Amino acid sequence: MGEGRTVIGLDAGWKFRKAGAGAVAGAVAGAATPSHKGFDDSAWQTVALPHDWSVTEPFSPDYSSGTGYAAGGIGWYRKSFRLDAEYAGKLASITFDGVYNNSQVWINGHNLGRRPNGYSSFSYDLTPFLVSGGRTNVVVVKVSRLDLADSRWFTGSGIYRSVYLTLTDPVRLAAYSPFVVIPAASAADAAGADAAAASAAALMVEARVINSTDRAVDAVVRHSLADPRGTVAATYEASLRLGPGADAPCRAALSVARPELWSPDSPSLYALTTEVVADGKTTDRTTTAVGIRTFRFDPDRGFFLNDANLKLKGVCLHHDAGCLGAAVPAPVWADRLAKLKAMGCNAIRMSHNPPDPKLLDLCDSLGFLVIDEAFDEWEGVKNKWSTGHNVYPPKHFGYGDDFPVWHEADLAAMVQRDRNHPSIILWSVGNEVDYPNDPYCHPSFLAMAGNNDAGKPAQEMMYDPDKPNAERLAGIARELVAIVKKHDATRPVTAAIAFPELSNITGYCAELDVVGYNYKENFYAADHAAYPDRALLGSENGAGYDQWLAARDNDFIAGQFVWTGVDYLGEAKGWPVRASPAGFLDLAGNPKPKYFFRKSLWSAEPVLCLAVRPNGEGAGAASEWSKVQAEAAHWDWGAGEAVEVVAYTNLPEVELILNGRSLGTRRLDDAPTGYLHWDLAFEPGRLEARAADSPISCELRTSGAAAAVVVLAAPAAITADGRYVARIDLGLADATGIPIATADVPVAVRVEGPGELLGLESGDVADTEAYTTPFRKTYRGRLVAYVRSTGVAGTVRLRAESAGLEAAAATIDCR
């Protein structure tokens, strides 16, 4: 054990059992319960965190469509660990990054408390209850998710994020300390932005030191800031006199010469090491990632980063990853973020809850600008769909029941935990809490256009005096903004507004520093004129071309956040569909054709991608959304079938060639839809698009019968740490190697060696096969296998088989 603090990961070796299953049921009925230290959990399942039991059970139409027809219930977790004698006298705390939901925690039989919010990170002091010297400690967590319709999207169930133990000396840094203050530069103080480009950058480091001893202590606080290459860029040292049981602040001004600025194109990270020394020894030490940047929102000119105008090209993300549920390992997030980055995305809205801290770490290191969002509902519970999206009647469970008691603690926890992330540019205190009659109501609803969903019952569109009055929203927003500013005054506060035509009247919008509009592009110009001092952005937008133009062509709009970056479980239209297909990436993280349309709009790289849509009877009347959902990147259609061929490109001219015959050239300047298209009858063979005056091309070829399962991509090596998760991409091919996308088959996957199969995901939102099976039907010829290291070095062997097809194999060095 070194000097300072020790952080011990507790993700491995948990015992788990659902309530009502075997040992738990018997114990609850008897004298001992699972919360007791001596309870016998030997018959329980051994699991590693992150763990989401919702995706380990079958889907059922008896569950809720809103949460993806996935299981909930009550689950118990138990973790035994020992501390060596050298840890005696240390202060100890346990931190949970996220438990969904209604968790209760015990240590050695002592009840530590409860946390209803399934997305908040929280800690408990273990010091009075721990034993050391090799004796056993037992942490117990009960998770109670009995209301399956408790959310409008999939939540997962269980300890779905990491848990860790922190041990420190009695003289230590306070929780969430230090806070590195980098002035954001508001619209009213643009001079702050100029400082970023100057010869030096000024940082303020705010730390708080606690003395938990019964005597006075002379302490020294030291800061050392290293640049991205490890060279010390700034230092600071100060002495403190701490009385018995006292704490004191320490503010340090650091000046960094010629700073390397953090940005999406160059996410340079410094490392701040903070050290507390008392009685001649280091009693605490932490390292904090620091990104030096300034930003501001200008009501007329949009968003500025490091004094350069930048359009936010963002997506909204929910927190699941298909077959992994809510228990998403960092490598899976890294893969998805890398694909979004390649699409031209530079911003993420965390919808609609505080994210996994590991996801924010990735946004820092990869270069994404982030809206960190706290709540989807305030003091009232929103409609929760259980038999299909917007299918009445709804159910009413959710965080709104806990908001009156817990909102301050939950909001403060998010801001304090996340405020050192340079990626975060906005705190959002709510998503669509002003949605009409859901639950807030107002007498003027009927006089306003666009009041709610077309299929809503008449009584739900009328003024109901028994519902909370929308006039309350401004006061609640004012309170939430004040809570945020108490813990971080450097960033503006926003919210995603669903009904600006009313929220402008009630004063809700006026309480925000930056106002986000959800799907209300038609109000941009008028509201900019009516509220000229207001900074505006599209906090949630459709993926259509017109929605992008509304952001691109209006300088006063800071940018847009498209719904969504990735398909997500839940918010399903009805069984058997159990997920939303709104993303640019599917549930397996594979790019859809519309991904390349967005890349052609957002990326400076040359783009040319072909997609094909059915174009038969009735196709002309279909919505653009329906056409996009039906398109596919293959050339396997019915003989003579009418199809529309689409070319997504940012190149000036493209020629389409079928079996060597030119079908004509199209110019992008002549395309009001933002893409090129040709109507034709399907003819098997080779379809090729060629860009004029460029080597860029794209082709689709008609495939033959399926002949083999193939490995499309697999890592050569992974880390043998018991946590690393590898992604193996599988596909189908004919005898000549042409990919097959129209003849899907079940594929069985077997893993041998020091790896375990976590799950199989095809991307099919209507596949209701349980995720626990070692087989799954391909979707559009694709399947992804996730394999986790078991912590032992060796060779992992994966074999993928389907009846009548040549099998595929991959070997991965686990070291």
CA distance 83 to 96: 19
For residue 632, give the DSSP letter.
Answer: B
Domain 185-290 and domain 706-814, same fold? Reply is yes
> Which is the catalytic residue, given 275, 373, 377, 432?
432
Residues 6+ apart with CB under 8 A from 172: 5, 91, 209, 210, 212, 276, 283, 284
> Which is the catalytic residue, given 540, 571, 644, 761?
540
Tell me the pLDDT band of 194, cut-offs 50, 70 and 90. very low
**Partners of 201 in the β-ladder:** 256
CA distance 658 to 638: 16
Say if residue 691's pLDDT is above 80: yes
User: Are the beta carbons of 314 and 348 closer than 8 angstroms?
Assistant: yes
User: Are the beta carbons of 456 and 392 closer than 8 angstroms?
Assistant: yes
Does residue 432 carry a catalytic annotation? yes
Residues 111-116: what's their mean pLDDT? 98
pLDDT in tens, 431-448: 999 998 899 999 887 777
Distances (CA, A) of 309 to 38, 94, 262, 539, 557: 61, 43, 15, 18, 11
Task: Indicate the helix (H) or strand (E) that contains 13.
Answer: none
- pTM for this model (two decimals): 0.95
Nearest CA-CA partner of 71 in 567, 772, 749: 772
CA distance 661 to 765: 38
CATH 2.60.40.10 given to domain 185-290: yes
Instruction: Please tell me the CATH superfamily of domain 6-168, with its number.
Output: Galactose-binding domain-like (2.60.120.260)
User: Are the beta carbons of 421 and 355 closer than 8 angstroms?
Assistant: no
Query: For the CA atoms of the chain, what is the radius of gyration?
Result: 28
pLDDT in tens, 729-742: 999 999 999 999 99
For residue 585, give the DSSP letter.
Answer: B
Backbone angles phi, psi at 482, to 5 degrees: -65, -40
pLDDT in tens, 486-543: 999 999 999 999 999 999 999 999 999 999 999 999 999 999 999 999 999 999 999 9
CA count, 13 A, side-chain hemisphere, 229: 4
Q: Among 24-33, 58-67, 249-258, where is mean pLDDT lowest? A: 24-33
Amino acid at 301: R
CA distance 577 to 571: 9
CA distance 203 to 809: 53
Q: Give the architecture (CATH level 2) of 608-695.
A: Sandwich (2.60)
Domain ranges of the chain: 6-168, 185-290, 295-580, 608-695, 706-814
Pairing type for strands 163-168 and 91-96 reads antiparallel
pLDDT in tens, 346-398: 999 999 999 999 999 999 999 999 999 999 999 989 999 999 988 888 999 99
Instruction: Please tell me the CATH superfamily of domain 706-814, with its number.
Output: Immunoglobulins (2.60.40.10)
Q: Give the architecture (CATH level 2) of 295-580.
A: Alpha-Beta Barrel (3.20)
**Partners of 731 in the β-ladder:** 710, 782
pLDDT in tens, 353-362: 999 999 999 9
Sign (positive/negative) of CA torsion 200, 204, 205, 210?
Answer: positive
Q: Which two tokens stand for residue 210?
A: 């606690």
